[in-house]
Structure 1
Amino acid sequence: MTIERRAFLKTAAALSAAGSLSSLPFAAARAQVPDVARILAGFAPGGTNDVLSRHIAQQIQGGYAPSVVVENRTGAAGQLAISATKQAAPDGRTMLVVPMAGLAIYPFIYGSLPYDPFKDLTPVSLAGVFDTGLAVGPMVPREVKNVPDFLAWAKANPARASCGSPAAGTPQHFMIELLSRAGGVPLVHVPYRGSQPAVMDTVGAQVAAVAAPVGEFRQQAELGKLRVLATATTRRGKFTPDVPTFAEQGFKGLEFAEWFAVFLPPKASPELVGRLNAELRKALAVPSLIEGVANVGIEARWSSAEDLAARLRGDTAQWGPVVKSIGFKVDS
């Protein structure tokens, strides 16, 4: 082998090694991006949790991972999806879209919860916020136009003073209990398996009223089959600007915010959290996503991971005393 040949091979080898070394950070970053990622949704297809999850999956596919699918891990009021996230590897392949109640309220109502919201999940970002409202159906006379009217009617008709909610232990359930106390009128709480059965029974005059996310009965209200009397918000809702809040009608302490958020399994790296958070920031600003989730009463909302963690702490502190004062527990 000639001297020139040896020199050429040494130079080529050196350049190859340098190229390999320079590509290591990129390779490490690529290693954090899964080929197929899944979003766990704890409720059935077609509901608000599912709709939001599918819009997010569509928007982050390609940027976060080549393929993103939604897996409806239903059961135990959303607990199965949270538990599955807790047990998943922190490699970016598993994400969770979860409503506030499963993290800030469940610890106070379930005697044995299979996860700790603060230790077993890694906050990433808010995904959306939504309002709860009170609506009445045809069982209640047309003359009832506001909350004081409804409470007066309920007091005069105790056998029919019933109000449905998506389930026992939900914010909507507690809203009914708080309204009953504030008005000094017994309201019979009727729990359902989801908002839609409660809404349809109110439309069908099986129950007098329903407390649910406004997106769940928005269509029925627009058709004139339900009348929305109030929202449990600090100010009038984006989707119900003509509906007064409980506070406007003289009922304080019935203001609370509900949200969906995205979490990763425990011990997910800050780099992975940052990557997913950046993808969500872009996704939640896409007009088609904003419009799609608005159809079910959700306002798309991004946040930093730190802001989400602070929000969870604040809501947990708010709901603990409320649940304790009501004294509700689920045997589990």
Structure 2
Amino acid sequence: MPTRRHFVQLIGTSATSLSLAPLGVLAQGIDQVRILYGFPAGSSGDSVARRVGEKLAGTAYTRNAAVVENKPGASGRIALETLKTAPADGSVLAMAPVSAMANYPFIYPRLAYDPKDFAPVSIAAIAHHGLAVGPLVPASVKTVRDFLAWCKGNAAQAHYGSPGAGSTPHFLGALLGLNSGTELRHVPYRGSVPGVVDVVGGQIAAMVTTHGDFLQNHRAGKLRILGTSGPRRSPFVPEVPTFAEQGFPELTTEEWFGFYAPARTPADVVAAANAAITGALKDKAVQDGILAVGLIPHGSSIEEMVRWQRSEVEAWRPLIRKIGFTAES
């Protein structure tokens, strides 16, 4: 698994092949843009969408701040299914994790969208994932190997949550169990927030998700992050060793959130959206807000997004086969 995933999309249609819109279509800018996000409000990804959306106002792309619409459920697929049928005029975007493009086509036989249904616009933020445990797990458990040993001795409680079936966190937990010979049962949630609540409340032993969603409770001592997925220690929790440091280099990965438009959106509209989004991501207040939730702001060209997504597809295809998971399994 690459240590710095250069993602993109199973997309066969690149931004350069999109048809050009009539000249002047953006002369006045779109009145209002909707940003669909397939997970609950309050999560770290939701914060990215909102902070970027606020800064789009007054650009050549749109006159007003964007409105974020949360559409949680189905591991984020509902938002993308909605985007697929949205007007292809730049008025509707979605922000999604790369797993929705790179993983889902291999695990959902009846996936209601194809990555080719979307035009990549820009990467928004890079995330590292973490494994955290709550009060259900004894305080003596301080490392990933401690947790695995505890799971083997407490099989009935050896569960871990993720923000959704087929997500990168789901597969990180599955690989951890598979490669260590430990039975870890997966519990999918409708996003990170309800899972973190259950970990803190002692309803479930552990959770794997974007580690930014753990930070507040980790710092308050309500849960403990045992490991992180980056190629080096997270600047947000430098005291926590990476999975690789603890003997699990196959769990080294960086994920990202990116903005998408419907595939038939004119190329100059996509370009205007890219310029507005990457401009917003250069704003210090936006950067500080994204860093505050444990994510790394990262705007990109359309071409970089396409390359990075393709890399994710190539990396995860064999791993998903190894795990043997499909939506029907």
| TM-score, length basis structure 1 | 0.86
- Which amino acid is 1:109 matched to? I
**Any residues of structure 2 matched to 1:202-241 within 5 Å, and which?**
202-241=199-238
Give 1:262's aligned residue. Answer: 259
Paired residues of 2:75 and 2:165 also in contact (CA < 8 A): no
Does residue 247 (structure 1) correspond to residue 255 (structure 2)? The answer is no
Among 46, 51, 62, the residue aligned to 1:50:
46
Q: Per-residue CA shift, 1:268-291, capped at 9, x if unaligned?
A: 233222222221221001121112
Among 95, 100, 103, the residue aligned to 1:102:
100
Does residue 111 (structure 1) correspond to residue 128 (structure 2)? The answer is no
Distance 1:192 1:29 in 2: 41
Among 268, 272, 276, the residue aligned to 1:275:
272
Does residue 127 (structure 1) correspond to residue 124 (structure 2)? The answer is yes
What percentage of residue pairs aligned between the two structures are identical? 43
Paired residues of 1:42 and 1:49 also in contact (CA < 8 A): no
C-alpha RMSD of the superposition? 2.2
Label 1:141 to 1:69 Cα distance change in 2 as closer, same or farther (>3 A).
closer
Equivalent position SS for 2:317: helix
Distance 2:204 2:75 in 1: 23
Give 1:66's aligned residue. Answer: 63
Give 1:320's aligned residue. Answer: 317
Q: Per-residue CA shift, 1:30-77, capped at 9, x if unaligned?
A: 447212222222223223333221111110111121122223344433
| TM-score, length basis structure 2 | 0.87
Distance 2:204 2:80 in 1: 32
Comparing 41-50 with 301-310, greater Cα deviation is found at 41-50
Equivalent position SS for 2:289: helix
Q: Per-residue CA shift, 1:108-148, capped at 9, x if unaligned?
A: 1111112111x211111100111110112222222222112
**Any residues of structure 2 matched to 1:154-169 within 5 Å, and which?**
154-169=151-166
Does residue 146 (structure 1) correspond to residue 143 (structure 2)? The answer is yes
Structure of higher CA gyration radius: 1
Distance 2:181 2:26 in 1: 60
Paired residues of 1:33 and 1:92 also in contact (CA < 8 A): no
Paired residues of 2:26 and 2:269 also in contact (CA < 8 A): no
Equivalent position SS for 1:153: helix
Distance 1:151 1:73 in 2: 34
Paired residues of 2:84 and 2:262 also in contact (CA < 8 A): yes
Q: Which has the higher contact order (CA 8 A, sep 6+)?
A: 2
Label 1:136 to 1:80 Cα distance change in 2 as closer, same or farther (>3 A).
closer
Give 1:305's aligned residue. Answer: 302
Give 1:33's aligned residue. Answer: 29
